[in-house]
Amino acid sequence: MHYEWYTDSSSTVINGQRRAGYTVVTLHETMEAKGLPAGTSAQLAELVALTRALELSKGKRVNIFTDSRYVFGVLHTHAGLWKQRGMLTAQGSPVKHGLQILRLLEAVQLPSAVAVVHCKAHQREDRDVARVNARADREAKQAATLEPLEAENAHMHALIPSVGELPAPQYSHKERNLADTLGLQEKEGWLHSTEGKILLPKNLLRPVLQKLHQTTHAGREALTQLMNKYFLTSGLRPLASKVQAECLICQKNNPRPEVSVPPATLEPTPGPGLVWQIDFTEFPRTKGFRYLLVLVDRFSGWPEAFPCRNNTAKMVALKFVKEIIPRFGLPQWMESDNGTHFTSKVVQHIADSLQIPWKLHTPWRPQASGVVERTNQTLKRHLSKSAVLCSLHRYTKELQPLPLDVPVHSLKPGDSILIRTWKDEPLQEKWKGPHTVLQVSHAAAKVEGHKNWIHHSHLKAVPAPERWTVQPTEKTASDNLGLKLLFRRQ
């Protein structure tokens, strides 16, 4: 026989105290409706409801409907993975409601055949599923007001991390002496403390740590805390750190630990004007100029800055040959980052021809170009202050052209126009049309047959056609209507 059961729960605050309840119903009757202990959350109540439905359907073929996406996702997706990890998350912390999830995994094995189905909540009650689910919701709210049965919902489970099958322990003489000192008891070959912890032999410490780390990928501290919770052992912290360091997945995803090292120093310069650091910095575009080519003498800190329209290798070569070399002589070497304007063949060919070594700094390390980078910062800061003090922004704002208040064209609705073609083809017309203007703005027009507005610069006014022509249709005469003519303007 096939069964269909519906589960639901309710969690609400009554007189300042959170109360919860659950229910399991069928199409015509209520199988179970009970209250849960005070403080039970809505998620835990949904887990209890589905667990009880599975336990009540032991040995039966059953479809169980739930409107909780949480409990549906836990059972179908997450619970099995969490169990393999010892009910731990990827961060090594315990899974919320882990004990109830373990009970749910045990209960799902009880029916002879079961399907847990998700259904939408709060739907129109025009179908059996929506109607019964609405009744389950009402009864769950009523069950939340009932007094809970504490003992029935208290379940104790041993939450021990999954470390797989371990060989029989072989304790050393020193470990057995330690067990006698601590008063440990031997059970099935393992030495247990009164708190339930297991004395782990030293030869099994590394395999257990590796297995535990593979299931959680927890760090050294999380591994240490987890092991100390269930095992008695020594030398745990350094070995946990080593196991984590050997994990390639952790090495690819964990941040690199910062190690404090003394700062390095740049190679000393022999004199002024012999070693230059060079870099481009960007500014707001002004009269076509957007970049500033900055060179700084490493010995004296003397800066040279040249405004440029673009940051190309040609500009670098031009300023280097016409400004730096004539005024300061040939440098012993040059320093820059790995920008293409410095590593291009043009710049490197000039440096090789003049026998000037061009040293490139380490990529993604701006401190290597610290001298010129600091100069860039100083220049930008002082120019920003000067712009504010001189009210340059307000001055340029007043010089901006005013918005259009009159049309810049003479087009008007009804005019005939031609539209410029976007692509010039040899021996083809440059303008298409004519078309009729439907609407106009200050700078554009809406044209018949075109969805978008077209700028006036792409339109050409043409005289409206004056001639009318008469063209016969395919059927020029009719038995009833006589002659039929079509008038068309050209």
Tell which residue, 155, 123, 120, has the closest CA to residue 44.
155
Question: Measured between alpha carbons, how far is 411 from 419 in angstroms, rounded to an integer?
Answer: 13
pLDDT (0 to 100) of residue 155: 46
Compute the average pLDDT of residues 134-138.
83
pLDDT of 432 above 80: yes
The full DSSP string for 386-454 is: HHHHTTHHHHHHHTSPPPP-S-SS---TT-EEEEE-SS--TTS-SEEEEEEEEEE-SSEEEETT-SSEE
pLDDT (0 to 100) of residue 395: 65
Compute the average pLDDT of residues 349-360.
94
Percent of the chain's residues with pLDDT above 70: 88
Percent of the chain's residues with pLDDT above 90: 28
3-state helix, strand, coil in the chain (%, to 5): 35, 25, 35
pLDDT of 476 above 70: no
Which residues, 6 or more positions from 317, have their beta carbon under 8 angstroms from its beta carbon?
346, 347, 350
Q: Is the dihedral of CA 131, 134, 138, 140 positive or negative?
A: positive
Compute the average pLDDT of residues 12-26.
85
Q: Tell me: the pLDDT tens digits for 158-182?
A: 444 555 567 778 888 888 888 888 8
Number of H helices, E strands in the chain: 16, 21
pLDDT (0 to 100) of residue 154: 41
Least confident segment among 61-75, 97-111, 402-416: 402-416
pLDDT of 33 above 80: yes
pLDDT (0 to 100) of residue 267: 82
Asked if 191 contacts 171 with a C-beta cutoff of 8 angstroms, the reply is yes
Asked if 25 contacts 132 with a C-beta cutoff of 8 angstroms, the reply is yes
Within 13 A of 432's CA, how many CA atoms are on the CB side?
A: 11
pLDDT (0 to 100) of residue 152: 45
Pick the more confident residue, 428 or 343. 343
Pick the more confident residue, 129 or 59. 59
Tell which residue, 137, 155, 161, has the closest CA to residue 83.
161
Tell which residue, 253, 188, 185, 193, has the closest CA to residue 218.
253
CA 373 to chain centre: 32
Asked if 156 contacts 81 with a C-beta cutoff of 8 angstroms, the reply is no
pLDDT (0 to 100) of residue 157: 44
Q: Tell me: the pLDDT tens digits for 245-300?
A: 888 888 888 887 777 767 767 788 889 999 999 999 999 888 899 999 999 999 99
Predicted confidence band of residue 128 (pLDDT cuts 50, 70, 90): confident
Compute the average pLDDT of residues 66-85.
87
pLDDT of 18 above 80: yes
pLDDT of 194 above 70: yes
pLDDT of 156 above 60: no
Instruction: Tell me the average pLDDT of the chain.
Output: 84
Least confident segment among 30-44, 80-94, 304-318, 394-408: 394-408
Which residues, 6 or more positions from 278, have their beta carbon under 8 angstroms from its beta carbon?
293, 294, 295, 316, 320, 334, 335, 336, 342, 372
pLDDT of 366 above 80: no
pLDDT (0 to 100) of residue 293: 95
SS3 39: coil
Strands of 431-440's sheet, edge to edge? 453-455, 444-447, 431-440, 416-420, 459-462
Domains of the chain: 2-153 (3.30.420.10), 183-253 (1.10.340.70), 275-389 (3.30.420.10), 416-462 (2.30.30.850)
Q: Tell me: the pLDDT tens digits for 385-398?
A: 887 777 666 666 66
Buried b (16+ CB within 10 A) or exposed e, 347-356: beebbeeeeb
pLDDT (0 to 100) of residue 4: 87
pLDDT (0 to 100) of residue 468: 59
Question: Measured between alpha carbons, how far is 313 from 348 in angstroms, rounded to an integer?
Answer: 10
Predicted confidence band of residue 212 (pLDDT cuts 50, 70, 90): confident
Asked if 7 contacts 50 with a C-beta cutoff of 8 angstroms, the reply is yes
Model pTM score: 0.40
pLDDT (0 to 100) of residue 163: 58
Predicted confidence band of residue 333 (pLDDT cuts 50, 70, 90): very high
